[in-house]
């Protein structure tokens, strides 16, 4: 018998035996792939180990990573803004007021700070972000496996805040650190009534290696990215 004369049953027989079947099954129960959740190595990590992994991956992606608590968040952001110079733009985010970051930015940014105001119109918001040296956001979630943060675009959280200024400062509440992309998407589905129209995943400063595989940073976004991990427990 030539290889072209092998029947489908003959071809499948070794596979069936390897799977523990005495013969090729007549029917196969379909698998509901939507119910399958892939396992990740990071799923078994403790909260401390996840944090270590997140910081290590972010640092490898050229992110400046630092830690603080709620009381120290305002001063940490203010120090970055004062060093960077220029103006600052920040999300209309309750945590920035609760932690005193908004007030600290007003005092520290040499050319003042502007709160994202959807009511001012799209053009005004983009102009403020484009002219700002520093953009300050609060991450909606973070991924330990890749050192990535998630920014969900909505009325008080425009994408321009993290994309247009030369320096992006993302406050990352430790309670929002998840092991994997799958876990983050489950959080998003649970948090919002409907899937948001735009999710921005950020892993370090903008970069490209399209030209001769040479990495160049700051091509289409921030030159510098800071992750300020806040212990909010």
For 152-172, how does the pLDDT look when each residue is reduced to its tens digit (9 = 90+)? Answer: 999 999 999 999 999 999 999
Task: Kindly list the strands in the beta sheet with 134-138, ordered across the sheet, starting from the edge strand earlier in the chain.
Answer: 64-69, 224-231, 167-173, 134-138, 88-90, 113-115
Identify whether the C-beta of residue 112 lies closer than 8 Å to the C-beta of residue 86: no
- The confidence score (pLDDT) of residue 26 equals 79
Angle at 129 between CA 199 and CA 157, to 5 degrees: 35
Q: How far is it, in rounded angstroms, from Cα 233 to Cα 231?
A: 6
Q: How far is it, in rounded angstroms, from Cα 198 to Cα 87?
A: 26
- The confidence score (pLDDT) of residue 1 equals 47
Closest to 225 in 3D by CA, of 177, 162, 174: 162
Q: Give start and end residues of each alpha helix (H) in 132-180.
A: 160-163
Q: How big is the chain by its Cα radius of gyration, in Å?
A: 24
Identify whether the C-beta of residue 76 lies closer than 8 Å to the C-beta of residue 136: no
Please tell me which residue, 105 or 212, carries the higher pLDDT value: 105
- Bridge-partner residues for 172, per DSSP? 229
- The confidence score (pLDDT) of residue 233 equals 80
Averaged pLDDT for residues 52-74: 96
Whole-prediction pTM: 0.80
Please tell me which residue, 184 or 206, carries the higher pLDDT value: 184
Over residues 6-23, the pLDDT tens digits come to 788 888 888 888 888 887
pLDDT band at 44 (very low <50, low <70, confident <90, very high): confident
Please tell me which residue, 56 or 39, carries the higher pLDDT value: 56
Residue given tokens 């952001």 in the structure block:
77
- The confidence score (pLDDT) of residue 188 equals 92
SS3 of 199, please? strand
- Detail the DSSP E strand segments found in the chain: 64-69, 88-90, 113-115, 134-138, 141-143, 148-152, 167-173, 177-178, 199-202, 207-208, 216-217, 224-231
Q: How far is it, in rounded angstroms, from Cα 187 to Cα 232?
A: 18
Over residues 88-140, the pLDDT tens digits come to 999 999 999 999 999 999 999 999 999 999 999 999 999 999 999 999 999 99
- The confidence score (pLDDT) of residue 89 equals 97
Output the average pLDDT for the chain. 89
| % of the chain with per-residue pLDDT over 70 | 91
């Amino acid at each position: 018998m030539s290889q072209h004369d092998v029947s489908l049953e003959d071809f499948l027989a070794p596979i069936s035996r390897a799977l523990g079947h005495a013969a090729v099954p007549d029917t196969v129960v379909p698998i509901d792939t939507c119910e399958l959740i892939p396992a990740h190595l990071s799923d078994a990590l403790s909260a401390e180990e996840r944090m270590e992994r997140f910081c290590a991956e972010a640092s490898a992606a050229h992110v400046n990573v630092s830690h603080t608590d709620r009381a120290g968040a305002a001063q940490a952001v203010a120090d970055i803004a004062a060093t960077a110079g220029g103006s600052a733009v920040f999300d209309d985010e309750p945590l920035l007021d609760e932690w005193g970051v908004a007030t600290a930015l007003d005092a520290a940014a040499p050319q003042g700070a502007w709160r994202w105001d959807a009511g001012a119109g799209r053009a005004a918001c983009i102009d403020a972000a484009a002219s700002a040296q520093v953009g300050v956001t609060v991450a909606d979630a973070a991924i330990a496996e890749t050192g990535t943060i998630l920014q969900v675009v909505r009325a008080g959280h425009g994408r321009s805040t993290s994309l247009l200024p030369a320096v992006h400062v993302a406050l990352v509440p430790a309670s929002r650190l998840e092991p994997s992309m799958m876990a983050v998407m489950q959080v998003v589905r649970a948090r919002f009534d409907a899937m948001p129209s735009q999710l921005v995943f950020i892993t370090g400063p903008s970069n490209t290696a399209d030209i001769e595989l040479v990495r160049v940073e700051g091509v289409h976004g921030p030159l510098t990215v800071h992750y300020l991990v806040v212990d909010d427990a």
